[in-house]
Chain A
């Protein structure tokens, strides 16, 4: 694990999302609760929709293009055949931390 400080939790709206540019492509950071974040790939495997623009509900996000719903915990598409990558992320002292090691191109490959 190599925790990288990405920003303050309040930089993301509650039930909102922001993206982070990484060596493995755009990663979406979702704020599902006051102090809860999840990091996943930003691209919907169905038609490439930007998941960070979707509606965040519970620990799920709905793709804005065709309403595929993904579990932010597992990356699994619910009721569809699809998967997005997930990355370890956490909130500590009001800061968002993401595991840099997981974002290394070699480890993802």
Chain B
């Protein structure tokens, strides 16, 4: 027997219901479909492409008049339903009544209009249906200014569409960042940048007070008094279920029309589906659950058993050029962990939220290719423990059990840019490798890739490995430590570009897996922060090795060594007397002359340190930083003052250099030397910076070593004057401070970036040199202070907090 089915509302949910019914049992129902809009069902999700001009209305129609005719659906489009009479089981339309056996309410939702003065003016519209879209297209045809109220999905799509059509667009958003329901701050920030790049102005924390205008909208007034010109005002602050008909006929209605899992309302013959319903306290605004509901409802109507279960939802923004994806729950909460990946250069941000070894939320911006994969993991509650380390890199990384760190590189297309500095793409590099470039140096020589800033070195090495397979012994890129997957280079780059100015910001924003790092990463992060933000960030002694915290070198028996500065090895009788007195007073067992031309007092007890420092300070001696990653010594020969071969005042220059450079922290220790002639008595050619004096001036060379590795320095430049030699040295130290990996001596760093890269900045570019010197001086304004004098002020911490030996003995 054919039953009479009346459906109110021709939207995406009811459209899907009809499809299921006519496909499964075309004779089960005689269907009448009401729609207030004078047209049938179309794909509302695609209104944004219509607005932006990417699609036409015809392209987004899902059910044509012919389709309805073929399937025997009686259409009453453009006709409002005024009431439902459940007692008589009829629906009352403007053009007459229709009786029903079963009724489906699918009235969808209505846009929320904020109750401000002027909301009813002409030119104030919402963004819900094709008529709204056409109104916007029409308004945009004459250009002018548009204000979109609401920075959620719909508002931003409206804004992008209007901008595309040539309007000046401002988006007003009440909250701190855009799309706060789908995104957290970091992705919201990237989204805002992208929108602003497209010429859309974004104002957050903007509260609308009124819409101004005589007959039609002319401007928008904000609470803070700002007035924005507006020929068009689009309200896209949210939607609410359209429940009027249900309320009028006394069905149970909460925020939406209450339904059970069979989509049945409080009247067993009346059903509801789509955005107008509320199930289990939940409202629905995205299409996926609506389609689920439609299927359940069709089954129920056909007398089959089915139950609706809400699932996790995902969101994508349909604005060309803004790749954005969010799914699940990504609020911070106890017991939740974050995995964060950022690539600021590409504007990529990904964050995964993990709880109990399961993915519960994902936010992606800039690169959303893996979105559906992550969404699947969330929906299925997949246990992710085994792939946790590489999870954020997506499915390409999850090869059979163990993770392959090369898969992602292998998966890159040939046109993917590897070296940003020199614009070298993957294809070019692979070509060079197959053409015979078998190691990093050869690739650099052939393509220039990784020959500049060096941050892509890891990628190039991975390409070598992928291309050559076992033939290539890869010096693999190492993460900083077990707390993160990021390399030192990544972290440095992110600290600068985000920017991140505190340890907490680094842990949080870069997804550290530990509460506050470990003994490996903390000193590195501490250095990067203080090197990049000398004024904003304060050095954290608790993130330093004991030597740097105690400003003395710990010895194997737990005592310390004390080395006062002796400027370029020059001292005098009163300094020596003070050192001798200190050695006596504190029972110093060993006094030794060091290789750096100064005197070491070894075997000082920890609690004596502040006192011995105070004594030495009184004689004018300051810390020699023999313990620090900073300037150690400037070794000199006696130079032209005394030596018959000396060409310049090498001792004098050494003192000037030491006075200029002492204090600031560096990635590793820095040792200098100045020799007065090429005979090189000060051994300047194996230092981090070495200066050889010649008749014509000063040969400044860098990147030497005389430790585990022995390496001669390389000539940076010849300086005609002493001042230029000092400037070159200072700029080199600052460049090293800003770019090197923590614990890389200068020679290791130069080997990575190449001397040419250093020379381009320091020698060839006087402005860059000046800027480096300026930044170094800024750092020195904070750090060129004697740490001993500072520590003496808080001598207490060097003593035991308490002595319980007496008390307990009682």
Asked if residues B809 and A62 are in contact (CB atoms below 8 Å), the reply is no
- Out of B515, B800, B808, name the residue touching A19 (CB < 8 Å): B800
- State which of B362-370, B538-546, B677-685 sits at the interface with chain A: B538-546
Asked if residues A64 and B801 are in contact (CB atoms below 8 Å), the reply is no
Of all chain B residues, which has the CB nearest A62? B519
- Out of A7, A22, A47, A55, name the residue touching B522 (CB < 8 Å): A55
Given contact pairs A7-B802, A11-B801, A19-B801, A56 touches B542 in the complex (Cβ within 8 A): yes
Of all chain B residues, which has the CB nearest A33? B515
Q: Which residues of B contact A26 (CB under 8 A)?
A: 800
8 Å CB contacts to A: which residues of B790-810? 796-797, 800-805, 807-809
Does any Cβ of A come within 8 Å of B514's Cβ? yes
Asked if residues B519 and A54 are in contact (CB atoms below 8 Å), the reply is yes
- Out of A49, A55, A96, A100, name the residue touching B804 (CB < 8 Å): A100
Give A6 to B554 CA distance when docked, in angstroms. 27
Whole-angstrom distance from the CB of B516 to the nearest CB of chain A? 6
Does any Cβ of B come within 8 Å of A18's Cβ? yes
Whole-angstrom distance from the CB of A17 to the nearest CB of chain B? 9
Asked if residues A57 and B519 are in contact (CB atoms below 8 Å), the reply is yes
Asked if residues B803 and A20 are in contact (CB atoms below 8 Å), the reply is yes
Of all chain B residues, which has the CB nearest A13? B542
Of all chain A residues, which has the CB nearest B798? A18
**How many cross-chain pairs have Cβ atoms below 8 Å apart between A and B?**
95
8 Å CB contacts to B: which residues of A12-37? 12-16, 18-23, 26, 29
Does any Cβ of B come within 8 Å of A69's Cβ? yes
Asked if residues A47 and B556 are in contact (CB atoms below 8 Å), the reply is yes
Asked if residues B550 and A53 are in contact (CB atoms below 8 Å), the reply is yes
Give A56 to B522 CA distance when docked, in angstroms. 10
Asked if residues A69 and B516 are in contact (CB atoms below 8 Å), the reply is no
Asked if residues B804 and A20 are in contact (CB atoms below 8 Å), the reply is yes
Q: Which residues of A contact B606 (CB under 8 A)?
A: 50
Give A18 to B607 CA distance when docked, in angstroms. 12
Asked if residues B558 and A62 are in contact (CB atoms below 8 Å), the reply is no
Interface residue count on the A side (C-beta < 8 Å): 37
Give A84 to B684 CA distance when docked, in angstroms. 47
- Out of B545, B800, B809, name the residue touching A55 (CB < 8 Å): B545
Of all chain B residues, which has the CB nearest A6? B802
Given contact pairs A48-B558, A64-B546, A23 touches B519 in the complex (Cβ within 8 A): no
Given contact pairs A53-B546, A53-B550, A103-B808, A20 touches B800 in the complex (Cβ within 8 A): yes
Asked if residues A58 and B514 are in contact (CB atoms below 8 Å), the reply is yes
Asked if residues A58 and B516 are in contact (CB atoms below 8 Å), the reply is yes
Asked if residues B554 and A23 are in contact (CB atoms below 8 Å), the reply is no
Asked if residues B808 and A7 are in contact (CB atoms below 8 Å), the reply is no
Give A23 to B805 CA distance when docked, in angstroms. 5
Does any Cβ of A come within 8 Å of B518's Cβ? yes
Asked if residues B808 and A100 are in contact (CB atoms below 8 Å), the reply is yes
Give A55 to B809 CA distance when docked, in angstroms. 32
Q: Which residues of B contact A20 (CB under 8 A)?
A: 800-804
Q: Which residues of A contact B545 (CB under 8 A)?
A: 55, 64
Q: Which residues of A contact B796 (CB under 8 A)?
A: 11
Give A60 to B543 CA distance when docked, in angstroms. 13
Does any Cβ of B come within 8 Å of A73's Cβ? no
Does any Cβ of A come within 8 Å of B517's Cβ? yes
Q: Which residues of B contact A100 (CB under 8 A)?
A: 804, 807-808
Whole-angstrom distance from the CB of B799 to the nearest CB of chain A? 9
Q: Would you give 9 A-B contacts (Cβ < 8 Å), ordered by A? A: A22-B804, A50-B546, A53-B549, A55-B519, A55-B545, A58-B516, A64-B546, A69-B519, A104-B808
Further contacts, 8 of them, CB under 8 A, given A22-B804, A53-B549, A96-B801: A6-B802, A7-B801, A23-B804, A23-B808, A58-B514, A60-B518, A67-B519, A100-B807
CB-based closest 8 A-B pairs: A62-B519, A18-B801, A53-B546, A64-B546, A55-B519, A15-B542, A21-B803, A22-B804
